[in-house]
A and B are shown apart, each in its own frame.
Chain A
Amino acid sequence: DIQMTQSPSSVSASVGDRVTITCRASQDINAWLAWYQQKPGKAPQVLIYAASSLLSGVPSRFSGSQSGTEFNLTISGLQPEDFATYYCQQAHTFPRTFGGGTTVEIK
C-alpha cells in the first residue's frame, strides 16, 4: 500500500494566518492527490483534486501544490469556518489511502 504521511498532526493558528499542511507519499503518485476538510460530526468534503485543482465553490484561499512526492495544502487567510481536520488521499493505486489528518485549531 502507498503510505501517506501528513504533517503536522495539529497546528494552532489565528484568524487571518497562513497555514500550510504537508502530505508525503511513500512512492510516486503523479498528481493523483486530493484534499478533504472534515468538521466534527460531519462527513469529509473534498476541497482539491489532482494536487492543485480547486473544486467548484471552494474558496480561493485554499490552494494545493506539489513537488515530487510532497504535496502541500495552503490556507491563505484563515477564516473561523476553516478550523477543522484536513486529510490527503492518494488516487493513484488501490487500495486508496489517506493521510493521518491534520487538525487546525484556534490559537
Chain B
Amino acid sequence: QVQIHQWGAGLLKPSETLSLTCNVSGGSFTGYYWNWIRQAPGKGLEWIGEINHSGTTNYNPSLKSRVTMSLDTSRDHFSLKLTSVTVADTAVYYCVRGRAIYFQNWGQGTLVSVSS
C-alpha cells in the first residue's frame, strides 16, 4: 500500500519561492509519473506538471517559467519549487503518483498561503 507524505512551508510572502517535498513509501518510483496538482480555495484542480523516474519533466505552460520538479530516488523523495509566488498561487498543493492516464495516489495536500 503506497503512502505519500508531503511537507513544506505553508505561508509565503509575494516574490518568495514555494518549496514542497513528498516522501513515498511502499511503492516503486519506476513506471510511474510524479505529479503536482493544486487547488485554489473553493476552486477546481490545476495540473502543475510531472516528472518520471528518469527525470523527464512536463510542465504546464502557464507555470513553466517558474516551476522546477526534481526526484531523489535514493531518498524516495520528489520535490516542487515555484518561484516568484503571488497571491494567485495560494492553493492546496497535492503531490500525486500517477499512471500515464490517471492520477492514482494522492498526498494529503499542503495549504500554501501567499500574503504580504
Range for the number of chain A residues in contact with chain B: 20 to 34
Residues of B in contact (CB 8 Å), total 21
Which residues of A lie under 8 Å from residue B62 when comparing CB positions? 95
Inter-chain contact B47/A44, CB cutoff 8 Å: no
Of the listed stretches A18-26, A65-73, A97-105, chain B binds: A97-105
Inter-chain contact B60/A91, CB cutoff 8 Å: no
Given the contacts A43-B94, A43-B109, A95-B61, A50 and B101 also touching, CB distance less than 8 Å = yes
Q: Once the chains are docked, how many angstroms separate the CA of A89 from the CA of B44?
A: 11
Nearest opposing residue in chain A for B107, CB measure:
A43
- Of B47, B100, B104, B107, which one neighbours A97 at CB under 8 angstroms? B47
- Of B61, B94, B102, B106, which one neighbours A91 at CB under 8 angstroms? B102
Can you report 20 residue pairs joining A to B where beta carbons are below 8 Å apart? A1-B61, A34-B102, A34-B103, A36-B103, A43-B108, A45-B106, A46-B102, A46-B103, A49-B99, A50-B101, A87-B45, A89-B45, A91-B101, A95-B49, A95-B58, A98-B47, A99-B44, A100-B44, A101-B44, A101-B45
Contacts from A to B (Cβ < 8 Å): 1, 32, 34, 36, 43-46, 49-50, 87, 89, 91, 94-101
